[in-house]
Amino acid sequence: MGSTPSVAVVIVAAGSGSRLGHVRPKAFVPIEGRSILSWSIDSVRGMSEPCELVVVVPSDLVAEARATLEPLGVAAQVVAGGATRQLSVAAGLEALGEGVDVVLIHDAARAFTPPEVFDRVVAAVRETGGGVIPGLPVTDTVVAIEADGRVDGPVDRSRLSAVQTPQGFPMSVLREAHATAAADATDDTSVVRAAGHPVAIVPGDARSFKITTADDLVRAEDHIRRTTMAADVPALRTGIGVDVHAYDPAAPLWLAGLFWPDEPGLAGHSDGDAVAHAICDALLGAAGLGDIGSRFGTDDPALDGAHGDVFLTRTRALLAEAGYGVVNVSVQLIAATPRFAPRKAEADAALTALLGAPVSVSATTSDGLGFTGRAEGVQAIATALLTFQA
Ligand code: CTP
Ligand code: MG
């Protein structure tokens, strides 16, 4: 026998969902491509300790439920439920093996209960040795109604709690309480209290709302869209970089990572590759990591005469270290010479290989205007898109 008490979760999903009014039993109604039952399993998968899982479904849907659970990679028993929730809970308890110390009963209809609520209930059952229910304060004003329909003033809200699931119990307590329970108690708490055991309350969670009516389905869809958007779409960041170099006819020309024989070169501490430098600035700027001047000082002898590949490779490493991935880079060169188009594909390929992400370079002249028009120098403007994964 291990010393860690083991936990079991029974998910009751055998109801018909009469108030939902869907053609299928409630737990099998799809929301955004997955059944309510399937969504509810995510909470159990997120628990901080492993547990034995039993899923209780309508008797004619046992095979379908097994097929639903299989791709989720959870080991679960699927059993047939009964005509009432209490009978379905009893069927789930019966399926549990020996050695379970704490059992949680959860409604599949509360499909988005955060795993923390399950952990909280388990911890409180262990601490108190009694039953534990999650609940939320009641925010509406609640009034009592007399038998003749007259309103009998407000009920003290501070004494009220709206109860959710999972409800947790020491296994022996729930088994015994069910064995002696009246035929139809609405929930397990009443069963346990009727058998004379204490029940404590821990904070529930608004996300644990129960899908009961068609309106709740809309709420569920909204909930999924909001949470999956936040989780799946990485943060995107854009950056811009501009670089200018004057021509130096005595220097060899290096541009867009390529050597251009027989073309006037560019002046600069490095090789004057304005395209490569503009890309570095766009990338560093998007990541908030400064710029090429502050990152790669002119006093670094390793960068004296360095070609674009050195700056791009170093920039890529800085981004990766900080958790950024490059989505793409677009650059435009504004220059009277060289004629860029014949080597565009070669430049794109070289830069794409250096960054491990698509780089596209285009070129234009400035119609005789400005320093580029007068062929005093070249200018490059780059934009970069990055993803950030924390
Ligand atoms: N449940 C069950 N077996 C039953 C009745 C209910 O397992 N015979 C389960 C439901 O599947 C649900 C949970 O108990 O996950 C809470 O019940 P409720 O929300 O009332 O669901 P339904 O009974 O299916 O809905 P309705 O009352 O509208 O028919
Ligand atoms: Mg019901």
- pLDDT category of residue 235 using cuts at 50, 70 and 90: confident
pLDDT of 305 reads 77
16: Cβ below 6 Å to ligand 1?
yes
Q: How far apart are CA 331 and CA 7, in angstroms?
A: 58
Amino acid (1-letter code) at residue 342: P
pLDDT of 304 reads 79
pLDDT of 386 reads 96
Q: Which ligand is nearest to the CA of 88?
A: 1
pLDDT of 191 reads 86
Ligand 2 centre distance from Cα of residue 19 (Å): 8
| 350 Cα distance to chain centroid | 35
- pLDDT, one tens digit per residue, over 219-231 is 999 999 888 766 6
Residue whose CA is closest, atom 8 of ligand 1? 84
- pLDDT category of residue 1 using cuts at 50, 70 and 90: very low
- pLDDT, one tens digit per residue, over 247-304 is 999 999 999 999 999 999 999 888 999 999 999 999 999 999 999 999 998 788 888 7
Which residue segments constitute the domains of the chain, with CATH numbers given? 7-227 (3.90.550.10), 236-388 (3.30.1330.50)
β-strand pairing of 265-266 with 235-248: antiparallel
Ligand 2 centre distance from Cα of residue 33 (Å): 24
- pLDDT, one tens digit per residue, over 100-121 is 999 999 999 999 999 999 999 9
- Whether 51 and 92 have beta carbons less than 8 Å apart is answered as no
Query: How many C-beta neighbours within 10 Å does residue 263 have?
Result: 16
Ligand 1, residue 83: give the atom nearest the CA.
Answer: 8
Q: How far apart are CA 206 and CA 159, in angstroms?
A: 19
Q: How far apart are CA 383 and CA 87, in angstroms?
A: 64
Ligand 1 centre distance from Cα of residue 18 (Å): 9
Percent of the chain with pLDDT over 70: 96
- pLDDT, one tens digit per residue, over 33-78 is 999 999 999 999 999 999 999 999 999 999 999 999 998 888 899 9
- Whether 40 and 106 have beta carbons less than 8 Å apart is answered as yes
Residue whose CA is closest, atom 25 of ligand 1? 17
pLDDT of 184 reads 67
- Whether 296 and 311 have beta carbons less than 8 Å apart is answered as yes
- pLDDT, one tens digit per residue, over 145-180 is 999 999 988 899 989 999 999 999 999 999 999 888
Ligand 1 centre distance from Cα of residue 89 (Å): 11
Q: How far apart are CA 342 and CA 36, in angstroms?
A: 58
| 155 Cα distance to chain centroid | 41
Q: Which ligand is nearest to the CA of 214?
A: 1
Amino acid (1-letter code) at residue 349: A
For tokens 């580029």, the residue is: 372
pLDDT of 85 reads 93
Residue 2 predicted with pLDDT over 70: no
84: Cβ below 6 Å to ligand 1?
yes
Mean pLDDT estimate for the chain: 93
3-class DSSP assignment, residue 69 = helix
Between residues 162 and 2, the one the model is more confident about: 162
Ligand 1 centre distance from Cα of residue 15 (Å): 4
Question: Which tokens belong to 51?
Answer: 């547990």
Query: How many C-beta neighbours within 10 Å does residue 187 have?
Result: 16
DSSP-derived secondary structure letter, 168: E
